[in-house]
Amino acid sequence: MTSKCVISLDLPEDIVAPLSDQFDLLTWSGREAMPEVTLQEWLADAEGLLCALSTPITASVIAGAEQLKVISTISVGVDHIDLAAATAAGIPVGHTPDVLVDSTADLAVGLMIAATRRIAEADRWIRTGQWSQGWQSDLLLGTDLSQATVGIVGLGPIGEATVKRLRGFGATILGWNRTPKSLEGVEMVDLEDLFRRCDIVSLHTALTPDTLQIASRKRLASMRAGATLINTGRGALVDEAALIEELSTGRLRAGLDVFETEPLPADHPLLSLDNAVLLPHVGSATFSTRMAMVTRALDNLRAGMSGQPLPFCANPEVCGFNG
Ligand code: DGY
């Protein structure tokens, strides 16, 4: 009998087709997130799950999936999966590290420039018919990256790639990492110092219980007037309510690719704030990066389905002992 595999998101036909030769596939084809109850039903007798950030894989989903041999997510982050529950159940979780480093670092720097040079705001300004006079000396003034002190919170691969790009801009760079690290051209400081001293703070840590709201109300309040917060990691790294207060008074600016709630609700207060550049979680959204992520996720899925160690495993404790 062919093993059953659930795909909890809509993927292009040519990506899914090769899998259908090997597995009995059940694919969620809605653009909206798959409801948990449907996921639970589908997983009742499935051996594989291919998923992404849009599907929370909770402890109760895992508990009901008694045949499950592998969870493979098309993402590097695994905070949407109850990793402890998967590990306790002996289920390896595959993810996609490395391949989205450059795309995400590009976007972080893009957001820095967009926020500090007011690119999105200027675009809106033209489109709403406000450009009625020619060049003006004080129109939409911003600040220079070359003169900025930029703080990188989390010097993993994406943080490091962001540093590499910032060196080219001539920025002064401060860094903080959970474990000691030294990087050429980066002054390592503690978190309080970093938030206090920087013109731009960019978040690059994974979301874990330790990093939840690492950009806390107190740290946001300690940032310089006119400073900018960049987040391409996870929404919950920031105390969003506190950030909204700081943006509403005009004290801070922000460039955000991720939010506490995604998609952002239509009446969300951030949507009315001109000093925030907002993107719909597209840090890894380039053709080649998405293809590389899918390839990695399919390799993990196939390995797990056949009881082999996953090439890219987020819970190594169980990755070699599957099946
Ligand atoms: C990830 O892979 O974790 C990103 O957030 C999605 O691009």
For the segment 75-117, what is each residue's pLDDT rounded down to a tens digit?
A: 999 999 999 999 999 999 999 999 999 999 999 999 999 999 9
Statement: residue 320 has pLDDT above 70 = no
Residues 6+ away with beta carbon under 8 Å from 87: 93, 315, 317, 318
Query: For strand 200-203 and strand 186-188, is the pairing parallel, antiparallel, or unpaired?
Result: unpaired
Strand (E) positions, the chain? 4-7, 24-27, 48-51, 70-73, 93-94, 149-153, 172-176, 186-188, 200-203, 228-231, 253-256, 276-278
pLDDT in tens, 221-259: 999 999 999 999 999 999 999 999 999 999 999 999 999
Architecture of the domain whose range is 101-278: 3-Layer(aba) Sandwich (3.40)
Please give the pLDDT value at position 322.
42
Cis peptide before 56 (omega within 30 of 0): no
Cα separation, 91 vs 140, whole angstroms: 53
Query: Residue with the nearest Cα to atom 4 of ligand 1?
Result: 75
Please give the pLDDT value at position 301.
97
Phi, psi torsion values for 177, nearest 5 degrees:
-140, 150
Q: Do the domains 4-97+287-318 and 101-278 sit in the same CATH topology, yes or no?
A: yes
Cα separation, 323 vs 92, whole angstroms: 10
Say what percent of the chain tops pLDDT 70.
99
Contact 92/322 with Cβ under 8 angstroms?
A: yes
Q: What is the mean pLDDT of the chain?
A: 96
Statement: residue 139 has pLDDT above 50 = yes
Does residue 163's CB lie within 6 angstroms of at least one atom of ligand 1? no
**Mean pLDDT across 196-218:** 98
Atom of ligand 1 nearest to the CA of 285: 7
Please give the pLDDT value at position 319.
86
Q: How far is CA 287 from the centre of its chain?
A: 17
Atom of ligand 1 nearest to the CA of 234: 5
Give the distance between the most distant pair of CA atoms in the chain: 73
The domains of the chain are located at: 4-97+287-318, 101-278
Query: Residue with the nearest Cα to atom 3 of ligand 1?
Result: 77
Does residue 283's CB lie within 6 angstroms of at least one atom of ligand 1? yes
CATH code reported for the domain at 4-97+287-318: 3.40.50.720
**Mean pLDDT across 65-80:** 98
The rounded Å distance from CA 126 to ligand 1 centre is: 32
